[in-house]
Amino acid sequence: MNSKAVRDPSDHAAQRAYFAALPKVELHRHFEGALRLSSLVEIARTYRLDVPAY
């Protein structure tokens, strides 16, 4: 952990460097390949959502 960023919250450069060094995660994911089609259809039916024909 970058102790300067913790010790001095007003040091914006240290904070930027600290957050830039953190591991990143994927925040955007499409359902294709991540969810079974049957599960997607079941969820859509539960919430009465229209889905394209498959």
pLDDT of residue 46: 96
pTM of the model: 0.39
For the chain, domain boundaries? 25-54
Report the amino acid identity of residue 43.
I
Task: Give the per-residue pLDDT at 29.
Answer: 72
pLDDT tens-digit series, residues 6-42: 677 788 888 889 889 999 887 777 767 788 888 988 9
Region 35-54: mean pLDDT is 87
Distance, in Å, from the CA atom of 25 to the CA atom of 14, rounded to the nearest integer, reads 21
pLDDT at residue 49 is higher than 60? yes
Helices (H), 1-54: 3-7, 12-21, 37-46
Residues 6 or more apart whose CB falls under 8 angstroms from that of 44 comprise 50, 51
Place of tokens 């591991």: 23
In this prediction, residue 3 has a pLDDT band, given cuts at 50, 70 and 90, of low
